Structure formats: structure tokens, C-alpha cells
């Protein structure tokens, strides 16, 4: 099973004679110094020698807030370098790097999935030889031992064979599944096979990734707490102070200010300097405005009110006086809480969340959505481990579903009984590794597809019972010569038509 290598870096930059040369990551040895420019994917695991940058780790850890790295920090491959130029000493060869291990996890996980053997194939293996032998016996034994004519024996055997022809089953069962898959696609869910539709009916537990699955994976200003000024003024100061930064936090503050109808008057901005690891100092309208974390306030000896909100907290001060707090956090999807409630109603007993994000953030989201369990600060390999543990403790006959969207989720999506990926925002690797794809990224669709799968399975069971019941009845009559070819044709074609009409109901799931 191939997974698109969209986390796989194509090259590494090595400095030779003052020039940067692009080489294959495989050709770089431990101890070599590589150069990573802004916007490039980190090709190998290593330690930063020089430079200062923000690293987007969301593809690997799912953590929504970019991580700051500077000289001495460890770095993992597969992440994207944000703003600065970095020189990195390679600590692991490409084959041992984080990216190579994730891709290996995906390949290994796919070999562990047991194929659901279809009822019809198992049934046909025994049914076909049995009825053919029975027809031969019916044609030979009565004429030999009970004085029946050979022509009557052959007529009864032919009638028996026509009745026993399993058309109704062979046509209606796959057709019911196609109907169910069609109903799911009408509702914006792509199911990659009838065995997955069957498995959805036995789903429990369901495990979610957080970022991009239950949350939008985008930053928004969620709280404005002014101190001694209006909220509008606090947001204006923050937007102007952060104007020259391309950090996601700065962009979200500027977006919030513009959405609130604010206009950026750049002439009011004077000198602007970034204080590494702390925040920014900017002159606005002749006043000195500080915007940054708690360390900045402490370094400048400003008395501030610490904020315990979940997310990234930006403290502001004007002319040495605390001005207020702005909180930026990843927002929960509108229908996520409803999706969890619907799944509980559909009979899913355990809902679990796995995330690479911090403990406080993960637990706050889990509490807000009413999830049963949450595991935080996990790397891709840890997620696979957690899912393995959940699979081991699973009830007999139940199927574990995992819902994710990132490259980091691909190994887990492959390992779970049912992998469910986000279609529009999800990575190619996740979509390819998954068995079910939600085309509009709405987790509420999962309970819809569970209802569709249960209805489809009940139609399949009705068709199996109806077809076998009618056949058994008419076969009995045929064996004793009480059913002629007309009854035989009804038992074959008539039952098939009724079963097909019933199967078509699977298309109509509201």
C-alpha cells in the first residue's frame, strides 16, 4: 500500500566552498552541517548550531502552535521551517530519522489488517457442491431404487437446480452494500469498500485526533481582557505592535482587529524591535507598547494579572503599565460536540482523543466536547502504541475506528480497524491510508454513516433470510415432485427481483 511521500523531504542543503548545494537526504552523514532556509521542510533529525526560527510541527505532532527553536535545540525531520535561516548538525541518518520511521510505520501497519471474509464467498464454497451433488442424487437414486422414470428423475433434478441457483443472494447482497455506499456518498462520506461499511455497524471505541479533526487547526482571538482601557483600544495596540511580524499569533490578532472593523494606521507606529523568546517592543503614538509572554512582563518589572486561559496568552503594557491580555487559541468545530452526542446515541460507548498538544489544551477540549478519555503530548509512534493498547482491550466483535487528518495520523489510520480521514483539509497520506473519508471534514457525518451501515446490514440480513427461506421451502416441494418449473422460476428470478427491490432501499437513508 503506497502512501504519498508528502512529508518526505526531496533534498538537503549542504554548504560547499561558500555555496549551497542540494543533495539527496540519503547522502548526508551524521555530523554534517545542513542549512535550512525559511519555508523549507526539515530533511533530517538534528541539533541547531546557529539561527533562530519558528517551526511548524503540526504535520508531525498535530500541535497547532509553532515551536520556537534556537542554537542547541533538537529538531525532528518532516516539520517546516518558518521564518529564519537555520544551520543544523545532523544527529541521525535518513533511514533512522522521524520521517523515515513514520513512513515505515504506515507500511507495516497495513500488513496487520485482517480482511473481512465475505459471507457469500464462505456460503458459496459449501452451498454449490452440496446442491449439485443433491441434484445428481435426485436424478439417479429414485429411478434406480423407487421405480421412477429417468425422464421424471432428470426433470426433478433440473427443477431442483433452478430453484437452488443462488442469484438472489449473489446479486442482492453486493447490491445492498453498493446502495449503502451510494447513500454514504450522497451524505458526503466516501466508504472505500463494503467490508468497511459492515465494520462501521460494530464500531466501538472511536478514537479522535484533536487538531484539524475536532478543532479547526486555525488560530483565533478567543478572549480580550482589557485593564484600564476599552477592548477595542487593547486590540488596536496589539494589532499595531504585531504588525511587522509574520508569526501565526500576530496574524490572528491582526485578523481579529480587521474583522472588528479596525483600520491599520501605520503612521502611528514608530520604532519596532523583537525581543527573542519574549515578544515585541513598539512605539505607538509616542508611547512604548510591550506585547509578549509573562517572561517579558517579568523582565520589564511590570505588575500583570497572570491568565490561566487555554491557548497562547499575549500580555500588553503601555508605558510600563499593564494594559490587558489577549488569548489566542484553536477553535473547536461547530458540530463537534453534537457529533460526540450523536455517536453516543448510536451506541458507541467509548470516545477517546489523542493529541500531540499540551495536557492543559487537550483536557480542556475533551471536557468541552464530553469525551470519555484523552491522551496528550503524543508523537506519531506513541499514537500507534496507544491504538495498539486500545485494540488489545477491545470487546469481542467490536471494531476500533480512528479519525484523523494529518500525515502524523497515517500510521494509526492504517492500523485501526476503520480509519476515517478528513477529505478537504486532510493530508494526502491520511486520505490514502484511510478506509472512510469525510468529504467536508464534519465529524457529525460519522454518526450518519453508522446509521447507513446498520440499515444496510439489516437489509442484507433480510435478503439472506428471505432468499434462503423461500428456496428451502420450494426445494423441499421440488424434491418430492410437488413443485414444477414455474415455482422453480419464481424461487429463482422472482425472489431475485424482490431481493433487488429491497436492496435498493439502502440508497434511501435519510
pLDDT tens digits, one per residue of 22-58: 899 888 999 999 999 988 889 999 999 998 888 887 6
* Confidence (pLDDT) at 297: 93
* Confidence (pLDDT) at 63: 57
The Cα 464–Cα 172 span in angstroms is 9
CB 46 within 8 A of CB 90: yes
Place of cell 478572549: 223
The helix, strand and coil proportions of the chain, stated in percent and rounded to the nearest 5, come to 45, 25, 30
* Confidence (pLDDT) at 481: 65
* Confidence (pLDDT) at 342: 92
Strands (DSSP E) along 2-160, which ranges? 12-16, 19-23, 33-36, 46-50, 52-56, 67-70, 74-75, 80-81, 86-90
Q: Is the pLDDT of residue 483 over 90?
A: no
CB 302 within 8 A of CB 322: yes
Helix (H, G, I), strand (E, B) or coil at 437: strand
Tell me the average pLDDT across 258-283: 84
Q: Is the pLDDT of residue 450 over 60?
A: yes
* Confidence (pLDDT) at 140: 86
Tell me the average pLDDT across 151-161: 79
User: What is the distance of C-alpha 102 from the center of its chain?
Assistant: 16
What are the two backbone dihedrals, phi and then psi, of residue 350, each rounded to the nearest 5 degrees?
A: -115, 125
Q: Is the pLDDT of residue 443 over 80?
A: yes
C-alpha triplet 270, 274, 279: angle, nearest 5°: 110
User: What is the distance of C-alpha 108 from the center of its chain?
Assistant: 18
CB within 8 Å of 267: residues ≥ 6 apart = none
Paired residues of 284 in beta bridges: 269, 287
- Omega of the bond prior to 205 within 30 degrees of 0, cis? yes
CB 24 within 8 A of CB 11: yes
The Cα 292–Cα 237 span in angstroms is 12
427 is written with which cell numbers? 493530508
* Confidence (pLDDT) at 121: 67
Q: Which residue has the higher pLDDT, 348 or 167?
A: 348
207 is written with which cell numbers? 478514537
Instruction: Band the pLDDT of 377: cuts 50, 70, 90.
Output: confident
Supply the pTM of this predicted model: 0.69
Q: Is the pLDDT of residue 64 over 50?
A: yes
Tell me the average pLDDT across 220-242: 91
* Confidence (pLDDT) at 207: 95
From 112-116, 138-142, 485-489, the region with the lowest mean pLDDT: 112-116
CB 442 within 8 A of CB 458: no
What are the two backbone dihedrals, phi and then psi, of residue 483, each rounded to the nearest 5 degrees?
A: -120, 130
Instruction: Band the pLDDT of 339: cuts 50, 70, 90.
Output: very high
* Confidence (pLDDT) at 4: 39
Q: Is the pLDDT of residue 112 over 60?
A: no
436-438 and 418-422: which strand pairing? parallel
Q: Is the pLDDT of residue 114 over 50?
A: no
From 118-122, 156-160, 276-280, 387-391, the region with the lowest mean pLDDT: 118-122
Tell me the average pLDDT across 353-370: 88
Helix (H, G, I), strand (E, B) or coil at 311: coil
The Cα 316–Cα 318 span in angstroms is 7
The Cα 257–Cα 255 span in angstroms is 5
The alpha helices in 67-149, defined as continuous H runs, are: 98-110, 119-145
Instruction: Please state, for a pLDDT cut of 90, what percent of the chain lies above it.
Output: 25
Range with top average pLDDT, 64-68, 117-121, 162-166, 292-296 = 292-296
Nearest Cα to Cα of residue 331 among 314, 303, 312: 312
The Cα 227–Cα 398 span in angstroms is 54
Q: Is the pLDDT of residue 427 over 90?
A: no
Exposed / middle / buried, residue 93 (Cβ in 10 Å: 0-12, 13-18, 19+)? middle
Nearest Cα to Cα of residue 248 among 325, 323, 312: 312
* Confidence (pLDDT) at 118: 60
* Confidence (pLDDT) at 156: 77
Q: Catalogue the active-site residues.
A: 209
Q: Is the pLDDT of residue 159 over 70?
A: yes
What are the distances in angstroms from CA 460 to CA 115, 216, 491?
A: 19, 38, 18
Q: Is the pLDDT of residue 158 over 70?
A: yes
* Confidence (pLDDT) at 479: 65
Q: Is the pLDDT of residue 126 over 90?
A: no
* Confidence (pLDDT) at 5: 45
Nearest Cα to Cα of residue 404 among 392, 37, 378, 391: 378
Q: Is the pLDDT of residue 508 over 80?
A: no
Helix (H, G, I), strand (E, B) or coil at 229: coil
* Confidence (pLDDT) at 62: 56
The Cα 227–Cα 355 span in angstroms is 34
- Summarised one tens digit per residue, pLDDT across range 75-111 is 888 888 887 899 999 998 988 887 777 666 655 554 4
C-alpha triplet 325, 330, 335: angle, nearest 5°: 130
Mean of the per-residue pLDDT values of the chain: 84
CB 421 within 8 A of CB 413: yes
The Cα 234–Cα 232 span in angstroms is 5
14 is written with which cell numbers? 549542504
Q: Which residue has the higher pLDDT, 328 or 426?
A: 328
Helix (H, G, I), strand (E, B) or coil at 57: coil
Q: Is the pLDDT of residue 482 over 80?
A: no
What are the distances in angstroms from CA 178 to CA 175, 192, 458, 459, 467?
A: 5, 11, 14, 12, 19
* Confidence (pLDDT) at 167: 76
Paired residues of 272 in beta bridges: 282
* Confidence (pLDDT) at 488: 75
Nearest Cα to Cα of residue 311 among 220, 390, 235: 220
* Confidence (pLDDT) at 117: 40
Amino acid at each position: 500500500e503506497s502512501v504519498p511521500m508528502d512529508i518526505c523531504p526531496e533534498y538537503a542543503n549542504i554548504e560547499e566552498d561558500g555555496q549551497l548545494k542540494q543533495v539527496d537526504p540519503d547522502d548526508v552523514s551524521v555530523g554534517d552541517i545542513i542549512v535550512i532556509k525559511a519555508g523549507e521542510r526539515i530533511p533530517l533529525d538534528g541539533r541547531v548550531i546557529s539561527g533562530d526560527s519558528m517551526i511548524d510541527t503540526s504535520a508531525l505532532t498535530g500541535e497547532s502552535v509553532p515551536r520556537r527553536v534556537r542554537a542547541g535545540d533538537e529538531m525532528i525531520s518532516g516539520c517546516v521551517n518558518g521564518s529564519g535561516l537555520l544551520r543544523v548538525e545532523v544527529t541521525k541518518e535518513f533511514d533512522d530519522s522521524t520521517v523515515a520511521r513514520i513512513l515505515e510505520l504506515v507500511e507495516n501497519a497495513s500488513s496487520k489488517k485482517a480482511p473481512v471474509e465475505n459471507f457469500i464467498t464462505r456460503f458459496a464454497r459449501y452451498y454449490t457442491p452440496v446442491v449439485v451433488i443433491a441434484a445428481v442424487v435426485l436424478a439417479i437414486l429414485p429411478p434406480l431404487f423407487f421405480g421412477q422414470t429417468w425422464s421424471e428423475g432428470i426433470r426433478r433434478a433440473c427443477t431442483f437446480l433452478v430453484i437452488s441457483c443462488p442469484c438472489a443472494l449473489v446479486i442482492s447482497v453486493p447490491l445492498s452494500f453498493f446502495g449503502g455506499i451510494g447513500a454514504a456518498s450522497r451524505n458526503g462520506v466516501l466508504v472505500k469498500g463494503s467490508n468497511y461499511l459492515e465494520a462501521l455497524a460494530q464500531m466501538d471505541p472511536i478514537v479522535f485526533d484533536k487538531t484539524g479533526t475536532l478543532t479547526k487547526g486555525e488560530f483565533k482571538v478567543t478572549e480580550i481582557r482589557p485593564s484600564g482601557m476599552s477592548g477595542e483600544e487593547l486590540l488596536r495596540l496589539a494589532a499595531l505592535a504585531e504588525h511587522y511580524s509574520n508569526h501565526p499569533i500576530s496574524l490572528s490578532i491582526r485578523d481579529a482587529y480587521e474583522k472588528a472593523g479596525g483600520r491599520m494606521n501605520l503612521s502611528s507606529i514608530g520604532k519596532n524591535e523583537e525581543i527573542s523568546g519574549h515578544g515585541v517592543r513598539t512605539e505607538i503614538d509616542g508611547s512604548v507598547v510591550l506585547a509578549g509572554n509573562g517572561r517579558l512582563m517579568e523582565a520589564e518589572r511590570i505588575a500583570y494579572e497572570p491568565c490561566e486561559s487555554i491557548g497562547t496568552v499575549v500580555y500588553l503594557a503601555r508605558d510600563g503599565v499593564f494594559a490587558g491580555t489577549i488569548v489566542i487559541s484553536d477553535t473547536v468545530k461547530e458540530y463537534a460536540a453534537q457529533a460526540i452526542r450523536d455517536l453516543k446515541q448510536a451506541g458507541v460507548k467509548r470516545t477517546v482523543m489523542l493529541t500531540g498538544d499540551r495536557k492543559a489544551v487537550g483536557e480542556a477540549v475533551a471536557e468541552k466536547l464530553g469525551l470519555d478519555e484523552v491522551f496528550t503530548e503524543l508523537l506519531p509512534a506513541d499514537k500507534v502504541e496507544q491504538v495498539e493498547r486500545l485494540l488489545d482491550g477491545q470487546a469481542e466483535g467490536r471494531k476500533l475506528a480512528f479519525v484523523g487528518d494529518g500525515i502524523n495520523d497515517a500510521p494509526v489510520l492504517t492500523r485501526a480497524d476503520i480509519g476515517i480521514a478528513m477529505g478537504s483539509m486532510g493530508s494526502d497520506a491520511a486520505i490514502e491510508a484511510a478506509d472512510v473519508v469525510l468529504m467536508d471534514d464534519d465529524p457529525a457525518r460519522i454518526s450518519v454513516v453508522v446509521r447507513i451501515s446498520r440499515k444496510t446490514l439489516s437489509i442484507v440480513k433480510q435478503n439472506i433470510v428471505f432468499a434462503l427461506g423461500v428456496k428451502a421451502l420450494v426445494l423441499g416441494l421440488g424434491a418430492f415432485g410437488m413443485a414444477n418449473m414455474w415455482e422453480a422460476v419464481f424461487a429463482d428470478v422472482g425472489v431475485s427481483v424482490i431481493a433487488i427491490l429491497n436492496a435498493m432501499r439502502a440508497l434511501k437513508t435519510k
